[in-house]
């Protein structure tokens, strides 16, 4: 039986807490992957201190030299791609195809960040004064906490760890307790890439204890968080008095808007992919389909047929389209929302219950579910469900569709289906989301393109792409006066 332990100052360490948690395959609960030794506050503190002690040396390492370690990590990830993909499928439940895609995304991000180490440029700015030179330098913060969820157990850690390290910060990585195997493999890989001891520390422990200890520690200068809105905003408030920088990627309620002139087959297929792919457990998953009345009956009929055609099963079976919810708690949340949808008066068209039989009994499977005639006030139109549940909302015309689409506290991703260029550009102008897609699913993104949301979804600088180092660096502004004389001019 595998034991998962925290990694502090270059070694895996025992926990003083004596508390453990099992790591279970959500497709088959009789498959126990291992036991996590949950870190106590003591290990969390030691992890921060070891990152603090390693900071001076890491900051003094030239950025391109830091990038060499990150580049090596990308190559090691490539070598271990199958092992990483299998680990994700086994502990998170997504299909092996989805897991391979996620690992490739993580490799791409790490490669991109290795390259960014050679582009940590500042600016030179002409001074108002003669014989004066002004420029900027990018500097790291110090110890950064990277707190991650279970739904993308390698891609999200990769897109936080790699830019944090390239920028010269040292890191305390606190992954979700549901996915310790992937987090351990990623930490091993960065260690094998040669990172000096203390530069990257892994804390496997609960959010309320180990996580709380990390974010409360005065040496932690910045926190990059992905997870629920509730936890993200709580963390933000908790550390605000210390002036800690926070970047948070939180909930979503991503809409597709389906207009009359769309390619119907494409709209249906892309909506199904966005709503049911990865079991709906993506922050960018499609959860609302806002459809113009005149084509709504046709859309609904086709999306229901498609939803019923998916094959549920274990992610390592090549015939499986959709894996399980990640654990019993998540399964119950999804089932609760299905009940809420019914009680609020939405029309349940398919799915709506735990899937059983056919090898599914030992897993947390939910049937792909479609509700029709969902209205803006219903909870299933407003709250993030994080499961394979789609709410169809009917709209009179373009304007009403936009009103519905934007009636959300969240704003991560969105999509429009249309063949009319004017409608497409109007949609792009009016939609309130950090990312939007045209004639393609709400999901997906590329390693070298910024990622993030507006409204209650996102806080702080965008992750990934040209903006990936923004959150992890401070700007130092330098004025050099080489006149050798007392300043005569006025400089306010």
Site residues (vs ligand ADP, CB under 6 A): 147-150, 174-176, 207-208, 211-212, 215, 227-228, 231, 235
Report the nearest approach of ligand ADP to the CB of residue 240 (Å).
Answer: 14
| CB 231, min distance to ligand ADP, A | 3
CB of 102 to ligand ADP, least distance (A): 15
Percent helix, strand, coil in the chain, to 5, is 40, 20, 40
Quick one: 356 exposed, middle or buried, by C-beta within 10 A (0-12, 13-18, 19+)? exposed
In angstroms, what is the minimal distance from the CB of 189 to ligand ADP?
20
Nearer to ligand ADP by Cβ, of 202 and 291: the residue is 202
Provide the 3-class DSSP secondary structure of residue 195.
coil
Annotated catalytic residue: which of 249, 367, 383, 384? Answer: 249
Contact at 8 Å (CB) between 257 and 414? yes
Q: Of 330 and 408, which has the nearer Cβ to ligand ADP?
A: 330
Q: Which residue's beta carbon is nearest to the bound ligand ADP?
A: 207
- In 367-425, beta strands by DSSP E: 369-372, 389-395, 410-411, 415-417
Q: Say if CB 72 and CB 53 are below 8 A apart.
A: no
Report in angstroms the alpha-carbon separations of 461 from 97, 452, 453, 454, 470: 31, 8, 10, 11, 6
Q: What is the DSSP string of 2-65?
A: EEE-EEETTEEE--SS--EEEEE-TT-TT-EEEEEE---HHHHHHHHHHHHHHHHHHHHS-HHH
Nearest approach, Cβ of residue 61 and ligand ADP (Å): 28
Q: Taking Cα atoms as reference points, which of 353, 47, 327 lies closest to residue 203?
A: 47
| CA dihedral of residues 94, 114, 160, 283 (deg, nearest 10) | -40
Q: Tell me the C-alpha distance between 334 and 364, whole Å.
A: 11
Q: For helices 81-92 and 180-192, give the axis angle rounded to 10 degrees.
A: 160
Report, in angstroms and rounded to the nearest whole number, the Rg of the chain calculated over CA atoms.
24
- Cα(35)–Cα(128) distance, integer angstroms: 63
Task: Name the minimum Å distance from CB 183 to ligand ADP.
Answer: 10
Shortest reach from residue 119's CB to ligand ADP, in Å: 30
In whole angstroms, the minimum distance from the beta carbon of 286 to ligand ADP comes to 18
Angle at 82 between CA 74 and CA 319, to 5 degrees: 135
Burial class (CB in 10 A: 0-12, 13-18, 19+), 440: middle
Produce one character per residue of 321-345: b if its CB has 16 or more CB atoms within 10 Å, e if not: bbbbbbbeebbebbbebbeebeeee
- Among residues 208 and 318, whose Cβ is nearest to ligand ADP? 208
Based on CB atoms, which residue is closest to ligand ADP, 227 or 387? Answer: 227
Q: Compare residues 174 and 217 and give the one whose CB is closer to ligand ADP.
A: 174
Angstrom CA distances, 292 to 267, 269, 295, 416, 417, stand at 12, 17, 6, 12, 11
CB of 469 to ligand ADP, least distance (A): 23
Task: Give the DSSP H/E element, type plus range, for residue 474.
Answer: strand 473-481
What is the rounded CA–CA span in Å between residue 378 and residue 250?
Answer: 21
Quick one: 93 or 227, whose CB is closer to ligand ADP?
227
Give the SS3 label for residue 366: strand
**For ligand ADP, which is the closer residue by CB, 147 or 202?**
147
Nearer to ligand ADP, 337 or 417 (CB): 337
Which position among 113, 146, 262, 283 bears the catalytic label? Answer: 283
Is-catalytic flag, 262?
A: no
Residue nearer to ligand ADP on the CB measure, 59 or 382: 382
**Is 249 among the catalytic positions?**
yes
Q: Which residues are catalytic?
A: 249, 283
């Amino acid at each position: 039986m595998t034991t998962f332990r925290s990694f502090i100052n270059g070694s895996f360490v025992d926990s003083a807490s004596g508390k453990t948690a099992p790591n279970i395959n959500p497709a088959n609960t009789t498959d126990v992957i291992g036991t996590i030794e949950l870190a106590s506050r003591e290990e969390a503190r030691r992890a921060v201190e070891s990152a603090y002690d390693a900071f001076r040396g890491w900051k003094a390492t030239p950025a391109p030299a830091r990038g060499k370690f990150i580049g090596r990590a990308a190559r090691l990830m490539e070598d271990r791609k199958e092992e990483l993909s299998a680990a994700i499928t086994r502990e998170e439940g997504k299909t092996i195809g989805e897991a391979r895609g996620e690992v490739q995304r993580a490799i791409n991000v790490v490669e991109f960040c290795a390259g960014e180490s050679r582009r940590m440029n500042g600016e030179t700015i002409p001074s108002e004064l003669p014989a004066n030179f002004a420029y900027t330098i990018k500097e790291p913060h110090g110890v950064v906490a990277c707190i991650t969820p279970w739904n993308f157990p390698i891609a999200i850690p990769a897109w936080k760890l790699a830019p944090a390290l390239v920028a010269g910060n040292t890191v305390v990585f606190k992954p979700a307790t549901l996915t310790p195997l992937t987090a351990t493999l990623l930490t091993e890989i960065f260690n094998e890439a040669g990172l000096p001891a203390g530069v990257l520390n892994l804390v496997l422990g609960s959010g309320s204890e180990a996580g709380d200890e990390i974010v409360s520690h005065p040496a932690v200068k910045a926190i990059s968080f992905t997870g629920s809105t509730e936890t993200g905003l709580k963390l933000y408030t908790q550390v605000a008095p210390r002036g800690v920088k926070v970047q948070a990627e939180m909930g979503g309620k991503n809409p597709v808007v389906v207009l009359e002139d769309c390619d119907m087959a494409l709209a249906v297929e892309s909506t199904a992919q966005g709503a049911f792919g990865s079991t709906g457990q993506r922050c960018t998953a499609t959860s609302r389909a806002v459809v113009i009345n005149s084509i709504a009956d046709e859309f609904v009929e086709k999306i229901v047929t498609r939803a019923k055609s998916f094959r549920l099963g274990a992610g390592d079976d090549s015939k499986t389209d959709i894996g399980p919810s990640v654990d019993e708690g998540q399964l119950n949340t999804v089932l609760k929302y299905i009940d809420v949808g019914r009680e609020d008066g939405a029309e349940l068209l398919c799915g709506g219950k735990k899937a059983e039989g056919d090898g599914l009994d030992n897993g947390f499977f939910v049937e792909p579910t479609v509700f029709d005639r969902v209205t803006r006030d219903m909870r299933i139109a407003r709250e993030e469900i994080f499961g394979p549940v789609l709410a169809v909302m009917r709209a009179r015309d373009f304007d009403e569709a936009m009103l519905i689409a934007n009636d959300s506290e969240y704003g991560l991703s969105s999509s429009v289906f249309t063949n009319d260029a004017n409608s497409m550009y109007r949609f792009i102008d009016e939609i309130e989301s950090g990312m939007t897609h045209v004639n393609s699913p709400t999901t997906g993104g590329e390693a070298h393109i910024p990622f993030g949301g507006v409204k209650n979804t996102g806080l702080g600088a965008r992750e990934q792409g040209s903006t990936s180092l923004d959150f992890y660096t401070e700007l130092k502004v330098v004025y050099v006066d080489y006149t050798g004389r007392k300043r005569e001019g006025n400089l306010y």
